Amino acid sequence: MPKKQHNGSPAEVEAAFYDAMSRADVDALMALWADDEEIVCIQPNGLRLLGHRAIRESYEMLLEHGGVHIQPTQLHEMHNLMSAVHTVVEGTTVLRGDQGHLVATNVYLKTPKGWRIVAHHVSVAPGPTPSDTHSQVLH
C-alpha cells in the first residue's frame, strides 16, 4: 500500500525523511528519493554519494544500531512549480556541545510519482545550534 507521504508536499516528504531516519527504516527512507540514478547525497564528512545503491548502503551503515534522531529547525525554502530547495539546521544528539551542529540543503523535484528528494547535502558547522535564523544572518 503506498505510504501517505508519497503524495505529500516537499515539507511532508522532509518530515517523513527525518521520521524514517529516527525509526531506522531504510526502505521508507529510500522510497522518498527520486527514482533516478542521478540522486546525490553529500555527507557531513564530505563524501559525495551518487545513486540509490551507494546512498542506501550509507544509511544502512548509519542506522545499523538504531535510529538517528534529527530535529530539523529554522526551515528556509525557495520553490517553483517543479522544484523546492529547503535549508534547515539539523538538531541532533549525534553531535554534543562544542562538536558543532549540522546544516542541510534538501532539494526536491516534482516527479511523476510526486515530490521526491534528489539531493541532500549536510555540513558540520562549528558551535552550538543557533537559537534562530536571524543569528545566522549578518544583517
* 46: Cα separation from own chain's centroid: 15
What the block records as the C-alpha cell of 114 is 510526486
What the block records as the C-alpha cell of 111 is 516527479
- Decide: is 48 part of the binding site for a copy of itself (CB under 8 A): yes
**CA gap 48, 32 in Å, rounded:** 19
**CA gap 118, 40 in Å, rounded:** 6
- Decide: is 136 part of the binding site for a copy of itself (CB under 8 A): yes
**Judged by CB under 8 A, which stretch of 3-11, 14-22, 24-32, 38-46 contacts a copy of itself?**
38-46
Partners of 117 in beta bridges: 33, 108
- Decide: is 75 part of the binding site for a copy of itself (CB under 8 A): no
CB of 74 vs a copy of itself, minimal distance in Å: 8
Residues that bind a copy of itself (CB under 8 A): 36, 38-40, 42, 44-51, 53-54, 57-58, 76-78, 80-83, 85, 87, 89, 100-101, 103, 105, 107, 109-110, 118-119, 121-126, 133, 136-139
